[in-house]
């Protein structure tokens, strides 16, 4: 198959959707498919790093979305560039990540004559984005021949505004990569109990609640350390450093952005991984990466995480925004080495269900199913929206 993956976000700026595209690209290529990626990018070397990359926009605008900032391209030249590439390439499948986010995916949907598949990643706290944009993009969303949601939380959100059948295919992880034993991170090898937080410092990630929990934990366990890694801006870091000072915390280390190799070492060296997110998480990829690395997990009891942590033996879930409950859970894990061992074993087992090799098999099977339906259905897969509706009614 000749496949185009489309992402609306600045590529390869760190983010869950970008990582999804990179990993799916690798797996599809390994299966012999011809794959290209289309996205905006501010990185000068993006074409060299990702073979077949199609850059459509080198300027991005950070826009508020899901209590975070989405780096999108709103270039007026998108239409010309998209039409030129689609006419030249003749893709069998166009796979759009977050297909209803402006502006690139909607432009591709307008002009694609391939089988169009959309993956919905977001699980926002409300469906306001879909409700407010529905009058504008209702016709375009009908051009999606197949719809994937990465979790029930993501499906429920989009389903409120756009009814239809959604195939649940979760995000994957490189389980072998995170499970391969590595030398421990040197700065964690001093005998202290290490709690690890990974992620951007957006409000919905809940770091402020973890810091409040740390104030309670350190009253009883002074040797507990918190390590914070992820892509965050200096202003965000200063906000949380002030909170650390105000709470009188010790041993809180802000590492900033690290490579995947470094992240793996920190995950394996940590005694527990903690995600205190307050909502808006569709799945929780880093939770799975921590589990694949053999690290116990303490996380918020939110819908997106429940999908991953269906086996409660692999994690302790606490009510979101409840620093006291979070502190109690962290102390339970700190005080019980045998419990940590059992949690780690359960997590390793669960993480294998999300290995990218398995996820890619499900995605390609869905592509083939849709292509076969198109061959049988005739006008069903027409690029004309009116014919598409006619095929459905017939």
Q: What is the pLDDT of residue 132?
A: 66
Residue 304 has pLDDT above 50, yes or no: yes
- Distance, in Å, from the CA atom of 197 to the CA atom of 202, rounded to the nearest integer, reads 13
Q: What is the pLDDT of residue 383?
A: 44
Residue 244 three-state SS: helix
In this prediction, residues 148-159 reach a mean pLDDT of 91
* Cβ-based burial of 191 (10 A; exposed 0-12, middle 13-18, buried ≥19): exposed
Q: What is the pLDDT of residue 387?
A: 39
The secondary structure of 59-105 as a DSSP string is --EEEEETTEEEEE---TTHHHHHHHHHHHH--SEEEEESTTSTTHH
More confident residue, 130 or 271: 271
Structural domain that includes position 88: 2-172+356-393
pTM of the model: 0.83
Confidence of residue 299 (pLDDT cuts 50, 70, 90): very high
Instruction: Assign residue 65 the CATH number of its domain.
Output: 3.40.50.2000
The phi, psi pair for 10, rounded to 5°, reads -50, 120
Preceding amide of 74 cis, omega within 30: no
Are both 20 and 126 inside the same structural domain? yes
Are both 71 and 50 inside the same structural domain? yes
Alpha helices in the chain (DSSP H): 16-30, 46-49, 78-89, 104-111, 128-141, 152-159, 175-179, 207-220, 234-247, 260-269, 285-292, 303-308, 323-335, 337-351, 356-377, 385-393
In this prediction, residues 295-304 reach a mean pLDDT of 93
pLDDT digits (tens, 9 = 90+) for 276-288: 999 878 888 899 9
Q: What is the pLDDT of residue 3?
A: 98
Structure tokens at 57: 């926009």
Are both 159 and 180 inside the same structural domain? no
Across the chain, mean pLDDT equals: 89
Q: Please report, to the nearest 10 degrees, the dihedral formed by the alpha carbons of residues 89, 386, 369, 93 taken in order.
A: 10
Residue 390 has pLDDT above 50, yes or no: no
Number of folded domains in the chain?
A: 2
- Distance, in Å, from the CA atom of 157 to the CA atom of 174, rounded to the nearest integer, reads 27
Are both 157 and 220 inside the same structural domain? no
What share of the chain in percent tops pLDDT 90? 70
Contacts of 195 (CB under 8 A, 6+ apart): 210, 214, 224, 225, 226, 227, 270, 271, 272, 273, 274, 330
Are both 274 and 230 inside the same structural domain? yes
In this prediction, residues 84-89 reach a mean pLDDT of 96
């Amino acid at each position: 198959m000749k496949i185009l993956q489309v992402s609306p976000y600045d590529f390869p700026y760190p983010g869950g959707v970008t990582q999804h595209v990179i990993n799916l690209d690798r797996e599809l290529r390994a299966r012999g498919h011809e794959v290209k990626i289309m996205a905006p990018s501010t990185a000068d070397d993006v074409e060299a790093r990702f073979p077949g990359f199609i850059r459509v926009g080198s300027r991005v605008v950070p826009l508020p979305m899901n209590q975070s900032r989405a780096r999108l391209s709103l270039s007026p030249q998108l239409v010309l560039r998209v039409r030129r590439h689609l006419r030249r390439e003749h893709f069998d499948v166009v796979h759009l990540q977050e297909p209803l986010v402006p502006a690139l995916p909607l432009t591709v949907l307008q002009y694609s004559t391939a089988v169009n598949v959309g993956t919905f990643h977001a699980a926002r706290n409300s469906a306001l984005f879909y409700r407010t944009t529905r009058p504008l993009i209702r016709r375009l969303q009908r051009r999606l021949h197949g719809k994937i949601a990465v979790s029930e939380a993501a499906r429920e959100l989009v389903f409120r505004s756009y009814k239809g059948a959604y195939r649940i295919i979760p995000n994957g992880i490189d389980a072998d990569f995170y499970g391969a034993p590595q030398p421990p991170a040197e700065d964690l090898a001093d005998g202290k109990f290490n709690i690890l937080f990974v992620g951007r410092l957006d409000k919905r990630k809940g770091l402020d609640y973890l810091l409040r929990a740390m104030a309670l934990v350190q009253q009883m366990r002074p040797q507990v350390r918190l390590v914070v890694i992820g892509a965050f801006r200096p202003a965000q870091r200063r906000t949380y450093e002030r909170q650390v000072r105000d709470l009188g915390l010790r041993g809180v280390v802000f590492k900033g952005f690290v490579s995947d190799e470094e992240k793996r070492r920190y995950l394996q060296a940590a005694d527990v991984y903690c995600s205190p997110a307050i909502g808006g998480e569709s799945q929780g990829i880093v939770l799975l990466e921590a589990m694949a690395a053999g690290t116990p997990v303490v996380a918020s009891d939110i819908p997106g995480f429940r999908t991953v942590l269906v086996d409660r033996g692999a994690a302790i879930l606490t009510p979101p925004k409840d620093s006291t409950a979070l502190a109690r859970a962290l102390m339970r894990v700190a005080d019980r080495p045998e419990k940590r061992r059992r949690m780690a074993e359960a997590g390793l087992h669960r993480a294998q269900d999300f290995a990218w090799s398995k996820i890619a098999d499900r995605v390609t099977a869905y592509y083939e199913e849709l292509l076969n339906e198109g061959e049988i259905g005739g006008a069903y897969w027409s690029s004309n929206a009116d014919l598409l509706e006619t095929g459905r009614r017939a």
